[in-house]
Amino acid sequence: MSAGKRREGKDDLKLAIDSRIGVIASHLCSSASSMASEKEASLAAVPSDSPTIFDKIVKKEIPATVVYEDEQVLAFRDISPQAPTHILIIPKVKDGLTGLSKAEERHCEILGRLLYTAKLVAKQEGLEDGFRIVINDGPNGCQSVYHIHVHLLGGRQMDWPPG
């Protein structure tokens, strides 16, 4: 696919998203993502249980490069990767789980499923030398989409401390 067609596809994607999600989507579609824009997107995001861009991806209303899917979870490539391998893993049903701080005992099974899926996808992606799992929570944690998600990062040496 040519760079021009990819750009047109991203523009179409932005038009399909409502205004609140559009702020976040424009951040995610940015070709030169930076820590500042990540912070800006998280501060612009409004914690809510309303549909998110991830709900639209689950419903196939917005395209994504899916790398794994089962009845409970969906894993797809991040469109603004922070590592050679950057995959987002989400539950297909949000069930009030907008962030880790909102987790209740009833969410234990899906939280475990997200982490187990990260292990499966890491193996599928050839990350034998290791990988990092990140869950951002709330504005100070730079969460920009209020639908719990796990970032699977790999393919390079990670630094410490991470933030």
Return the exposure string of 50-73: e unless at least 16 CB atoms fall within 10 Å of the residue's CB, then b. eebbbbbbbeeebebeebbeeeeb
Q: Is 149 a catalytic residue?
A: yes
Q: Which of 27, 147, 149, 151 is catalytic?
A: 149
Using CA of residue 57, residue 62, residue 66, residue 71, what is the dihedral sign?
positive
Q: What is the largest CA-CA distance in the chain?
A: 47
**Catalytic residue positions, numbered:** 149
